[in-house]
Amino acid sequence: MSGPVDQAVAAAFRDSWGQIVATLIGATGDWDLAEESAQDAFTAAMGTWPRRGVPDRPGAWLMSVARNRATDVLRRRALGAAKVREVAVDSREENVEFAGSENIEDEEAVSGVYDDRLRLIFTCCHPALSLEGQVALTLRTLIGLTTAEIARAFLVPEPTMAQRLVRAKRKIRNAGIPFRVPPAPLLAQRTTAVLGVLYLLFNEGYSATSGADLVRSGLSAEALRLARMLSTMMPEDCEVTGLLALMLLHDARRGTRLDGAGDLVTLEEQDRTRWDSGEITEAILILKEAMQLGRPGPYQVQAAIIACHATAEDEAHTDWRQIAALYDRLAELAPSPVVELNRAVAIAMASGPAAGLAIVESIVAAKTLSGYPLLPATRADLLRRMHRLDEAAVHYREALSLATNDGERRFLTRRLRETTTGR
């Protein structure tokens, strides 16, 4: 997006999408209608704002259009005058306020959550759903990530994720689960899911699922802001602080991940003098404080892994044996095929590419990461390091066929070219 209207719509989406959808869910109890009405409002903005100008209060304008759309649908469904009156509002832009705004101060006082977006995330992460359902539904409904983006984060096909979202909404509707902020004593029940939402949001910004841009810094910045706020709210939760440290360590390298053309720069090729030393120092201090509590968790261990990279003088001085040991611990705390793949890379760097390739081959045989582009890309890289170039080229081509981001495609194309011409 480049024009002023496009920028205004993007800003309004970032600032208002979650609040609009949450308001409509609270008023109608219909998740699908809430999302569809919000989408229609943004579509209307793209058609109206270029002609009439961006309104002084874009969020209120969008809320008005979305609620009118919901009202029309409910009328057509003949759900009854009471429900229609509950949703209907004065459509005059200057009088529009978000539904339930009069209750926000009460909700803040009860929950102790004083940020609108963070409060909505806690609201959406209802423990009646599975952990995966909580995270996926929150990313789709309140953050506005697409089903394809969420599916990639969970390593499942898009139709599978679409069905999971449908089932989660159906369970909420059939069980009559209320859409409201939990009181402070119940926040801990939802914290694990909230951390999952924030980390997947950060990752989608740090390495975008699809499109022309490999990095969407706005998403990462918002996730980092919310993580800081959550850490202030829950200073004794070492996984909350562990996640904050992990995000800071990743963010410290953000400016060096792409070159001037927007292409990926690998960790070993990045200019470490340009890493944000302030963020690294802050993260290390936060991580040490968390680990002193003696309750290690997956986010703390991941932060410790990235800290090994962040504090190494250069690639040659990276303590790969320590990193491999940390991945062993992570595999115990949070076993997954992706953790195993990353462990394979660490072992390859510590003990040679053949040792890492053996683990990769076992993952391939298990078929737990089918369709995941980093699996053939890792396989190809290890084969390249072993000078088995013909085999490496085959797997670079496979990774290229699976990549959905333009920046990733350019990187893999370059690697493939180097492999096929570097004999």
What pLDDT, in 10s, does the model give residues 77-109? 765 555 555 555 444 333 333 334 445 555 555
| Most confident residue range from 10-19, 262-271, 316-325 | 316-325
Q: Would you state the pLDDT for residue 27?
A: 81
Q: Would you state the pLDDT for residue 422?
A: 60
Q: Would you state the pLDDT for residue 2?
A: 56
Least confident of 93-102, 296-305, 308-317, 388-397: 93-102
Q: Would you state the pLDDT for residue 105?
A: 54
pLDDT at 210 over 70: no
pLDDT at 278 over 90: yes
Q: What is the mean pLDDT of residues 337-357?
A: 97
Q: What is the mean pLDDT of residues 212-227?
A: 73
Q: Would you state the pLDDT for residue 264?
A: 83
pLDDT at 57 over 80: yes
Structure confidence at residue 161 as a pLDDT band (50, 70, 90): very high
pLDDT at 112 over 90: no
Beta-bridged to residue 258, according to DSSP, are 264
Q: 259 in helix, strand or coil?
A: coil
Q: Would you state the pLDDT for residue 90?
A: 45
Q: Would you state the pLDDT for residue 107?
A: 56
Q: How much of the chain, in percent, has pLDDT values that exceed 90?
A: 52
Q: What is the mean pLDDT of residues 323-350?
A: 97
Q: What is the mean pLDDT of residues 146-151?
A: 88
Residues 368-421: pLDDT tens digits?
998 899 999 999 999 999 999 999 999 999 999 998 888 888 999 999 999 988
- Report the 3 state secondary structure along the chain: CCCHHHHHHHHHHHHHHHHHHHHHHHHHCCHHHHHHHHHHHHHHHHHHHHHHCCCCCHHHHHHHHHHHHHHHHHHHHCCCHHHHHHHCCCCCHHHCCCCCHHHHHHHHHHHCCCCHHHHHHHHHCCCCCCHHHHHHHHHHHHHCCCHHHHHHHHCCCHHHHHHHHHHHHHHHHHHCCCCCCCCHHHCHHHHHHHHHHHHHHHHHHHCCCCECCCCCHHHHHHHHHHHHHHHHHCCCCHHHHHHHHHHHHHHCCHHHCECCCCCECCHHHCCHHHCCHHHHHHHHHHHHHHHCCCCCCHHHHHHHHHHHHHHCCCHHHCCHHHHHHHHHHHHHHCCCHHHHHHHHHHHHHHHCHHHHHHHHHHHHHHCCCCCCCHHHHHHHHHHHHCCCHHHHHHHHHHHHHHCCEHHHHHHHHHHHHHHHHCC
Cα angle value 66/140/163 (rounded, 5°): 110
pLDDT at 5 over 90: no
Structure confidence at residue 50 as a pLDDT band (50, 70, 90): very high
